[in-house]
Amino acid sequence: MTELIRNLRVIQDDIRTTLGGKKESLTADDLNHLLMWSSDQQLNRRSTQSPTQPAKRFSSPSICKYPTLEEDLSSSKERPESNPIIGVQRSLSAFLKAQDLYLSKMAAASTASRPRASKSESFVDNKRKEDIRSANINAGRAVADAVRTSLGPKGMDKMISTASGEVIITNDGATILNKMDVLQPAAKMMVELSKSQDSAAGDGTTTVVVLAGALLRVCQSLLASGIHPTVISDALHKSCAKSVDILTAMAVPVELTDRDSLVKSASTSLNSKVVSQYSTLLAPLAVDAVLSVIDPEKPEIVDLRDIKIVKKLGGTVDDTHTVNGLVFDKKVSHAAGGPTRMENAKIAVIQFQISPPKTDIEQSIVVSDYTQMDRILKEERNYILGMIKKIKATGCNVLLIQKSILRDAVTDLSLHYLAKAKIMVIKDVERDEIEFVTKTLNCLPIANIEHFRAEKLGHADLVEEASLGDGKILKITGIKDMGRTTSVLVRGSNQLVLDEAERSLHDALCVVRCLVSKRFLIAGGGAPEIELSRQLGAWAKVLHGMEGFCVKSFAEALEVIPYTLAENAGLNPIAIVTELRNKHAQGEINSGINVRKGQITNILEENVVQPLLVSTSAITLATECVRMILKIDDIVTVR
C-alpha cells in the first residue's frame, strides 16, 4: 500500500510538471476533452473485464477531441514529448491504472478483515461449546472453593444440617461433599472424585478436590489463550506421569516392623480432625488393629471389613479401646429369665427363625371350635420344642439369631423354652454382620434346623452382658481359633463427637492400610507439592511449543496446597510459598510448612509424614477428573 501511494505521488508530480511547462496551451476545452477521454478509458477497461458485453467507445469528434492516445499520436506532427496534451493523457492513464490497483487492494483488505466462518465452524456452534465448558469449569471450581478452608491441621470445620434435622460437624472432605445437594453434572464429578480418593487411599479427600479446582483454574486460562482442549489434556497427562515419578524418587521406604513410623503417619492424618487432641490414643490403636488382621500369606492385602467399629454413647474418646474378640451394641434377650453370662460357650449363628411356621399369604386356616384351636397351639409348641431339643443335643448354649424382615426371629414361647434349656439368646443380628461374626468365631452360619450340627459351632471362653454407661453391650472373649479380625469400641460424650471419632478412626485405618499396600512414606506440609512445582517448571523449559506452556501451568497449580495450608493457618501465604521455593531451590526437598510453629522447617524431623499412595492417588485422580471435564463440550439431557 505504501508503494502504491508513492506511485500516485510520482504521477501527480508528472502531471504538474507537464502542465507547468506549457500552462497556456491547455485550455478549458482541452480539460473537458481530457475528462471525457479518461471516462472512455475506464469504460474500455471495464468492458475488457466483461467479455460478454461489447466495449463502448466515444468515437465522435464532436464528443471527444482525443478519442484514443494512438489516434492523437498519429495525427500529431510533433513528437509526443512536445505535446502537453499527450503527456497529460499518459499521466492520466497511469493514474487510472494506479487507482484501479489501489481500489482492488482496498477491497481485498476489506474482505480479509471481515470475519469468515471456517469450514469446521460452518456446522458447529463454537460459542455453545465454550459456554458449556466454562459452566462445567466454574461448577467444579465452586465445589473446590467450598471445601478449601477445611484443608490442613488449622482448617475450619463445617456444620451440615440435613433435611431430616440431623446435624453433622466435620472437616472430612468426603463427608462434606457426600452430604451436599449437588445438581450440576460437573460438580457431581467432583463429589465422585472425593469418594474415589476415599476408596483408594482413605485420606486426602479434601486435597484431591482442592487440587482439581486449581487445575481447572489454570485450564480456564489456557483455553482463554486459544490453546485447544486436547493439547491441554495431553500435557496434563504427561505432567501427572512425571509427578508420580518425582514423588516416588522423594519417598522414604518403611517396614511394617517400624511401628513408630506407622504411628507417625496415622497421627498426621488425625491432626486435621475434630478429635485431633486424641491422636496419641487413636493412632497406635489404628496401627495395632491393622497389623492384627494382616494375613501372612497375603501381607500386602488388608480388608478393613475385618475391623469392626462399634459406637457406644457415653464416656469420652479417651475410653476408646480394642476388644480381642467380639462386641455387640445389644442386650441379651432374657425376657423369660434366660442366662446373661455363659462360660465355655458353644456358639451357633443361625439364619432361620425359632417360631411356628406360617402359612402362605393366599392360604388360611379355618377353626370351627376351641378344640381345634387347642390342637393348633399344641402343634406349634411341639414344633418349637422339637427345634430346641435338636439345638440342645449338639451342646449349643449360645444362639446368635439373624434379624428377619418377614416375621419375628424368635417368639416369647421360644424364649421361654430356650431359657428352660439354659441357652443364651442374642437376636436381631444384622445381615451384613453375619460374615464378620462367623469369620471371627471360626464357625459356619446355619440356614436350616436340619443342618444344625456340632461341627458348625464356634467356641469361646466367655460370653457376657456388660454394663457400659447407661446401656449394655455384649462381649465374646477367649475365642478358640479366632479369625484374623478385631473389634474397636468407640466412646463419645455426644452423638456428634461419636460420629466424628468414627470417621477419624476410619481415615487413620486407611492410612495404615496404604502403608501396608505401598510401603513408602513422604513428607507432608506442602513439601512434595513445592518440589513437584519446581522440577516440573524446570522440565517445562526444555519442552517446545504449547506443551511446555501447559506443563508450566500444571506446576503453578500444585502450589495451591502449600498456599492454602498457610492461608488456613493464619500465615502470610505469599511470603511462606516464596520462602518454600527458595528452600527447595537450595536442595532442601523436605522443607515444609510447620503450621504449629508458623514457620518453615524440615517436615520429616517434625514427624509430619503421609503415605506415598495418598499423594500419588490425589494427583492422578485429580488430573483424570480435570481431563474429563475439559473434554466435555456439550450436555445432552435425556429422559
145 is catalytic: no
Residue 557: per-residue pLDDT = 94
Identify the band that residue 83 occupies on the pLDDT scale cut at 50, 70 and 90.
low
Q: pLDDT-based confidence at 28, cuts 50/70/90?
A: very low
Q: Which of 47-56, 96-105, 151-160, 532-541 has the highest mean pLDDT?
A: 532-541
The 3-state DSSP composition of the chain as helix, strand, coil percent (nearest 5) reads 55, 15, 30
Give the fold, CATH level 3, of 259-314+497-518. GROEL; domain 2 (3.30.260)
Q: Return the DSSP state at 401.
A: E
Ranking 55-64, 115-124, 356-365 by mean pLDDT, the lowest is 55-64
- Ranked by mean pLDDT, the top range of 33-37, 361-365, 498-502 is 498-502
> What stretches of 351-470 adopt beta strand conformation (E)?
398-402, 424-429, 458-468
If you count them, how many residues does the chain have? 639
Mean pLDDT: which of 39-43, 242-246, 447-451 is highest?
Answer: 242-246
Q: Residue 543 pLDDT more than 70?
A: yes
Query: What is the distance between the alpha carbons of residues 377 and 357, in angstroms, rounded to a whole number?
Result: 12
Q: Which of 65-79, 134-148, 369-383, 416-430 has the lowest mean pLDDT?
A: 65-79
What is the reported pLDDT for 338?
82
Q: Quickly tell me which residue has 504449629 as its cell.
A: 596
- Rounded to an integer, what distance in angstroms lies between the CA atom of residue 266 and that of residue 246? 23
* Interatomic CA distance for residues 58 and 523, integer angstroms: 95
Q: What confidence category does residue 71 fall into, taking pLDDT thresholds of 50, 70 and 90?
A: very low
| Cell, residue 190 | 467432583
pLDDT value at 390 more than 50 = yes
pLDDT score recorded for residue 578: 93
Q: Which three cell numbers stand for residue 165?
A: 434435622
Alpha-helix residue ranges (DSSP H) falling in 271-369: 279-292
Q: What's the confidence (pLDDT) of residue 113?
A: 55
Write down the catalytic residue from 18, 170, 175, 205: 205
Contact 366, 394 (CB under 8 A): no
Which tens digits make up the pLDDT trace of 264-275? Answer: 889 988 888 888
pLDDT band at 403 (very low <50, low <70, confident <90, very high): confident
Residue in 290, 305, 137 with CA at minimum distance from that of residue 224: 137
Ranges 73-77, 464-468, 580-584, most confident: 580-584
Assigned CATH topology for domain 126-254+522-630? GROEL; domain 1 (1.10.560)
pTM flag (> 0.95): no
Please check the confidence at residue 70 and state whether its pLDDT lies above 80.
no
Distance CA 118, CA 594 (A): 55
Q: How far is CA 95 from CA 2, 9, 41, 448, in A?
A: 16, 9, 11, 112
466 pLDDT more than 70: yes
Q: Are 354 and 384 in contact (CB under 8 A)?
A: yes
Confidence at residue 75, expressed as pLDDT on a 0 to 100 scale: 44
Average pLDDT score over the chain: 82
Higher pLDDT, 498 or 128: 498
Displacement of CA 560 from its chain's centroid (Å): 16
| pLDDT value at residue 367 | 74
Q: Is 288 a catalytic residue?
A: no
**Is the predicted pLDDT of residue 47 greater than 60, yes or no?**
no
pLDDT of residue 105: 60
Instruction: Pick the range with the lowest mean pLDDT from 145-149, 364-368, 445-449.
Output: 364-368
Instruction: Tell me the pairing of strands 167-170 and 158-161.
Output: antiparallel
- Averaged over 528-540, what is the pLDDT? 93
Q: For position 220, what pLDDT does the model report?
A: 93
Beta partners for 298?
295
Q: What is the mean pLDDT of residues 596-615?
A: 89
Asked whether the beta carbons of 361 and 438 are under 8 A apart, the reply is: no
The pLDDT assigned to 550 comes to 93
Asked if residue 92 has pLDDT above 80, the reply is: no
Instruction: State whether residue 476 is helix, strand or coil.
Output: strand
pLDDT of 120 over the 70 cut: no
Q: Given a cut of 90, is residue 54 above it in pLDDT?
A: no
| pLDDT computed for residue 275 by the predictor | 86
Read off the pLDDT band of 381 (50, 70, 90). Answer: confident
Q: pLDDT higher for 176 or 86? A: 176
Q: Catalogue the E-assigned strands of 212-368.
A: 252-253, 307-313, 321-323, 325-328, 341-350
- At 363, the pLDDT band (50, 70, 90 cuts) reads low
pLDDT of residue 62: 38
More confident residue, 82 or 577: 577
Using DSSP, state whether 394 is helix, strand or coil: coil
Could you tell me where in the chain the CATH 3.30.260.10 domains are found? 259-314+497-518
Residue 23: pLDDT over 50:
no
What percent of the chain has a predicted confidence (pLDDT) above 90?
40
DSSP one-letter string for 582-610: HHHHTT-TTEEEETTTTEEEETTTTT-EE
pLDDT at site 51: 44
Instruction: Give catalytic status of residue 394 as yes or no.
Output: no
pLDDT tens digits, 252-305: 999 888 889 899 889 988 888 888 889 899 999 999 999 999 888 888 888 889
Q: Which of 405-414, 416-425, 508-517, 534-543 has the lowest mean pLDDT?
A: 405-414
Q: Which of 40, 172, 198, 499 is catalytic?
A: 172
205 among known catalytic residues? yes
Phi, psi for residue 312 in degrees, rounded to 5: -140, 120
Q: Is the pLDDT of residue 140 over 70?
A: yes
pLDDT at 183: 87
- Catalytically annotated residue among 170, 486, 507, 623: 507
Question: What are the contacts of 1-4 at 24+ separation with CB within 8 A?
Answer: 1/105, 4/98, 4/101, 4/102, 4/105
| Banded model confidence at residue 87, pLDDT cuts 50, 70, 90 | low
Distances from the Cα of 425 to the Cα of 348, 410, 482, angstroms: 10, 9, 21
Considering 175, 206, 486, 616, which one is annotated as catalytic? 206
Task: Say what the pLDDT of residue 331 is.
Answer: 85
The torsion of the CA quartet 569, 574, 577, 582, rounded to 10 degrees, works out to -140
CA 576 to chain centre: 27
> What pLDDT does residue 81 have?
45
Give the pLDDT band (50/70/90) at residue 12: low
What stretch(es) of the chain map to CATH 3.50.7.10?
A: 325-492
Most confident range, picked from 30-34, 65-69, 73-77, 101-105: 101-105
Task: Determine the average pLDDT of the residues in 611-630.
Answer: 94
Provide Rg for the chain, Cα atoms. Answer: 44
Which residue has better confidence, 34 or 462? 462
Which H or E element spans position 486? strand 486-492
Confidence class for position 339, pLDDT limits 50, 70, 90: confident
The Cα–Cα gap between 487 and 510 comes to 16
What pLDDT, in 10s, does the model give residues 564-593? Answer: 999 999 999 999 999 999 999 998 998 999
**Superfamily assignment of 325-492 in CATH?**
GroEL (3.50.7.10)
CB 489 within 8 A of CB 321: yes
